[in-house]
A = this chain, B = another copy of it.
């Protein structure tokens, strides 16, 4: 039997949070993701987790990352380019993408302050939430300009 808990009821639908079986694979995937601040892709994580669960398959990594991000335990980062990247940090924070090397960083200071009335509606759309990302140059890439370029 599949147990479920109702987390919230909206006009749109019931949002369920599934309580799943606690597998060694899922536990280790989450554990390894939480050790990293590098926002790894599914296959990065596969390579890492493989060292602890040698027979794990890439499909299992994908399945678990999907489930974990659906229930809000981890975050899937969009706009990461080709492959999705994952963030094990549960707290809300901004991300910055290095336009030179593609690295993704967590921003601890808030570079933008949002004030003013945040509308609930615009052009007929109901606004549920918003997302802010930054694009910039990481410290390493910036330093290499200084030393190697003009």
Contact = CB atoms under 8 A, between A and B. Distances in A.
A2 interface: no
Number of copies of this chain that the complex holds: 2
Interface residues of A, number: 50
A27 interface: no
Contacts of A115: 113-116
6 contacts: A79-B80, A113-B114, A113-B117, A122-B134, A128-B134, A130-B132
A111 B105 contact: no
A122 B111 contact: yes
A6 interface: no
Given A76-B80, A80-B80, A130 B126 contact: no
Contacts of A132: 130-132
Contacts of A85: 80
